[in-house]
Amino acid sequence: MTYVSPVCVVTGGSQGIGLAVCEKMSANGYRVFNLDLEDFARPVENGQWVKCDVAQVGEVKQCIETIIAQASRIDALVSNAGIHFSGTIEQTSEAEFDRVFAINVKGAYAAIQSVLPVMKSQHSGAIVVMGSDQSLIGKPGSFAYNLSKAALASMVKTTALDYAEYNIRANAVCPGTIETPLFHNAINRYVEKSGAKKADVVADEAAQQPLGRLGQPEEVAELVLFLAGDKATFITGSLQVIDGGYTAR
């Protein structure tokens, strides 16, 4: 019998958690397609970059149709693409609000909607959405980002219920403070505004976690791999927290 590699589509897989996910899935036998505006930050074996603006629904649909034509199936979708924005509701302009939701929420909507027909025809599929600890809790100065991650939690739950009859599972991974380029960019912006020392800010962030350190992208990727695979076949509609204990308090 000829072995056919399972196929995984990742959005925003060129750096940070997304890149770690691409590497982890590839190392475990998946053929990986990465939808992102930029190529992989480093080469990924069995990984293929597909240039795509995930905020454009039509572009996402076209890219995924091309992947299906090439690979004939999609076994897992990891909707990871996202951006961060700091600010209260008063400090968030309409343009900034729209940008956060276009990438974080509409991007996930577009990717999930596009893979469902082939997953339904296969009568199988795993969808993993990259939420946040802010899918469960509120944080100050994080109005638009917090709202977008709460919306993703809802998207996962409704998708899980609507497509369970097709053996399609949908779950969210909810990371806390993970040391990624997104994290460092946010810290850099804060340092520029506040004049604080970056090393002190990073140390303070680590100290806020009950485990006393920042999470690493590879740790999140391990959870994604589990949820996408055959060992998690009775898990759907869940919000899986990976935050060093932050939301347990």
Q: What is the mean pLDDT of residues 114-130?
A: 98
Domain boundary assignment for the chain: 7-178+216-244, 179-214
pLDDT digits (tens, 9 = 90+) for 78-87: 999 999 999 9
Q: What is the mean pLDDT of residues 91-111?
A: 98
| CATH architecture type of domain 7-178+216-244 | 3-Layer(aba) Sandwich (3.40)
Instruction: Report the half-sphere exposure of 5 (CA within 13 A, side-chain side).
Output: 16
Alpha helices in 125-197 (DSSP H): 143-163, 181-194
pLDDT digits (tens, 9 = 90+) for 175-219: 999 999 889 988 999 899 899 999 999 999 999 999 999 999 999
For the chain, how many helices (H) and strands (E)?
8, 7
- Can you give the pLDDT at residue 2? 60
Among this protein's residues, is 190 annotated catalytic? Answer: no
Computed over every residue of the chain, the mean pLDDT equals: 96
Q: Which of 145, 163, 190, 246 is catalytic?
A: 145
Q: What is the mean pLDDT of residues 59-84?
A: 97
Instruction: Using a cut of 0.85, tell me whether the model's pTM lies above it.
Output: yes
**Has residue 48 got a pLDDT over 80?**
yes
- Can you give the pLDDT at residue 1? 53
